[in-house]
């Protein structure tokens, strides 16, 4: 452990990267390198030949449904599980033979796993004492950590004398106290209520930026992952479906599975019929011919699916279309509104197309007074542009 900062209000944590350093370019050697890692429980492959690089200073989220292997992967990084195959390199060093208590990695546990017989102070100091730090150094670090998570005055309390939010902070302070190279967070906000979760998300992000530490968070909550992470790895059945920034994950999903898992989506199955200039025309069963922008990576296989996010689908009352508008390659699908879900800031409309398929549209409620709202039974045109569409292999 290194020298301590006398200023407890703005603690400087000397992790691998300097504080507030921007995410380094990809060419740099990644801090954490997971190479072809597999783990099988009995006959169930929890993690299946997974490879992933995580850079220093990144806030990385592992997102997936329960049972997808994300927690197993995290536990392998912490050292609680041993990979059956593959290597995990931390700073270029294989950490497979390093026991959990010797790894420069700390974990914040899902239910916090605070020691019930120890005070807040002793919980946070637990790891520092094990590291053989001097008493005075421990006291300074403790004060720093307590200030960092805003638990001043709570040092003598036992975990069950704290609220859920306070317990979460103790767990965070305890896992940060040793200044790990990588902090692993297993569903860190799952036990908090919605309001507290949102404010804690902000605090976690701010903390991570300030400390410049590498955070890897496991979550099943896509909003949480989208809000906090620089990059997200979406896991399904032990494999990574896609690793991308939150925006790319949503706007350019790599597979049909990701498109459906992250956010809401309308899917039209069909075959590519023509390819001219920058446009593909796809004959779909439910939506007729749909014109889409040519994807960056051309799909090799047909049949394909056209994915359109509900907020990209706009609704209008049917009427004559001007020649100028007609010249634009806009996809128009006619149908009847069957259901309107009012959510406050926006409304979700279900439109039954003439083909029988249902398309969902989400539109912002920009006007306060409902002079022109669309109600159930209203005949509408659902429309979207070629650029609103993503073409995916089925």
Partner 1 sequence: MSTRRIFAQPARYAAIAPYLWMVLFFLVPFGFVLKISLSQTAIAQPPYVPVFDFAEGWAAINAAFAQLSMDNFRLLVSDNLYLSSYLRSLIVAVASTLILLLIGYPIAYGMARLPQRWQAIAMMLVIVPFWTSFLIRIYAWINILQHDGLLNTVLLALHLVSAPVVWLSTDTAMYIGIVYSYLPFMILPLYATLSKMDPALLEAASDLGASPQQAFWLVTFPLSLPGVGAGALLCFIPIVGEFVIPDLLAGSGSMMIGQTLWLEFFTNKDWPVAAAAAVALLVLLVLPLLLYDRLQRRTLEGGR
Query: Which among 29-37, 58-66, 99-107, 284-292 is the span making contact with partner 1, rule CB under 8 A?
Result: 99-107
Query: Which among 173-181, 259-267, 359-367, 373-381 is the span making contact with partner 1, rule CB under 8 A?
Result: 173-181
* Minimum separation from the CB atom of position 70 to partner 1 (A): 17
Helix (H, G, I), strand (E, B) or coil at 44: strand
Residue 160 near residue 114, CB atoms below 8 Å: no
Query: Which among 23-31, 95-103, 260-268, 310-318 is the span making contact with partner 1, rule CB under 8 A?
Result: 95-103
- Which of the 8 DSSP states describes residue 295? P
* Residue among 7, 28, 94, 102 that touches partner 1 (CB under 8 A): 102
Residue 223 near residue 217, CB atoms below 8 Å: no
Q: Give the count of beta carbons closer than 10 Å to the beta carbon of residue 36.
A: 12
Q: Does 96 bind partner 1 (CB under 8 A)?
A: no
Q: Does 115 bind partner 1 (CB under 8 A)?
A: yes
Size of the site for partner 1 (CB under 8 A): 28
CB-wise, 90 or 262, nearer to partner 1? Answer: 90
* Minimum separation from the CB atom of position 105 to partner 1 (A): 8
* CA neighbor of 270 nearest in space, from 280, 260, 283: 283
The C-alpha atoms of residue 336 and residue 375 are separated, in whole angstroms, by 10
Q: Does 154 bind partner 1 (CB under 8 A)?
A: no
CA distances from 354 to 116, 134, 335, 379 (A): 62, 75, 5, 10
CB-wise, 184 or 267, nearer to partner 1? Answer: 184
Residue 243 near residue 257, CB atoms below 8 Å: no
Q: Does 106 bind partner 1 (CB under 8 A)?
A: yes
The C-alpha atoms of residue 267 and residue 271 are separated, in whole angstroms, by 13
CB-wise, 129 or 275, nearer to partner 1? Answer: 129
* CA neighbor of 234 nearest in space, from 256, 206, 212: 256
* Residue among 3, 9, 27, 160 that touches partner 1 (CB under 8 A): 160
Q: Does 130 bind partner 1 (CB under 8 A)?
A: yes
* Minimum separation from the CB atom of position 113 to partner 1 (A): 4
CA distances from 106 to 18, 19, 186, 235 (A): 19, 19, 11, 22
Q: Does 158 bind partner 1 (CB under 8 A)?
A: yes
The C-alpha atoms of residue 8 and residue 148 are separated, in whole angstroms, by 8
- What is the contact surface with partner 1 in residues (CB under 8 A)? 78-80, 99-102, 105-107, 109-111, 113-117, 126-127, 130-131, 158, 160-161, 174-175, 178
């Amino acid at each position: 452990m290194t020298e301590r900062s006398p200023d407890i209000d703005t603690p400087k944590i000397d992790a691998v990267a300097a504080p507030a350093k921007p995410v380094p370019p990809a060419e740099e050697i990644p801090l954490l390198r997971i190479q072809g890692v597999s783990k099988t429980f009995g006959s169930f492959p929890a993690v299946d030949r997974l490879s992933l690089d995580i850079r220093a200073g990144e806030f990385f989220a592992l997102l997936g449904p329960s049972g997808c292997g994300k927690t197993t992967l995290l536990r392998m990084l912490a050292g609680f599980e041993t990979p059956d195959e593959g290597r995990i390199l931390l700073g270029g060093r294989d950490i497979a033979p390093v026991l959990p208590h010797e790894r420069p990695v700390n974990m914040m546990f899902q239910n916090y796993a605070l020691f019930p017989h120890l005070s807040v102070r002793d919980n946070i100091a637990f790891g520092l004492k094990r590291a053989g730090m001097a008493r005075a150094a421990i006291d300074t670090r403790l004060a720093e950590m307590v200030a960092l998570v805003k638990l001043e005055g709570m040092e003598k309390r036992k975990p069950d004398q704290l609220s859920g939010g306070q317990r979460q902070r103790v767990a965070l302070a305890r896992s940060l106290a040793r200044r790990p190279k990588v902090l692993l967070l297993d569903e860190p906000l799952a036990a908090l209520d919605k309001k507290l979760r949102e404010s804690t998300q902000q605090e976690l992000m701010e903390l991570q930026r300030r400390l410049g530490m590498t955070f890897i968070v496991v979550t099943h909550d896509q909003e949480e992952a989208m809000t906090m992470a620089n990059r997200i790895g979406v896991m399904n059945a032990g494999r990574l479906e896609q690793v991308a920034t939150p925006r790319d994950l949503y706007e350019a999903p790599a597979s049909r599975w990701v498109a459906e898992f992250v956010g809401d989506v309308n899917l039209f199955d069909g075959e590519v019929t023509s390819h001219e200039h920058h446009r593909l025309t796809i004959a779909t069963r439910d939506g007729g011919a749909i014109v889409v922008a040519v994807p960056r990576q051309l799909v090799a296989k047909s049949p394909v699916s056209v994915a359109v996010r509900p907020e990209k689908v706009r609704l209008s009352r049917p009427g004559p279309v001007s020649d100028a508008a007609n010249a634009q390659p806009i996809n128009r699908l006619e149908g009847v509104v069957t259901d309107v879900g009012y959510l406050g800031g926006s409304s979700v409309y279900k439109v039954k197309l003439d083909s029988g398929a249902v398309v969902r549209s989400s539109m912002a409620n920009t006007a306060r007074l409902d002079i022109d709202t669309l109600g159930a039974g209203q005949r509408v045109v659902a429309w979207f542009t070629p650029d609103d569409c993503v073409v995916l292999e089925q």
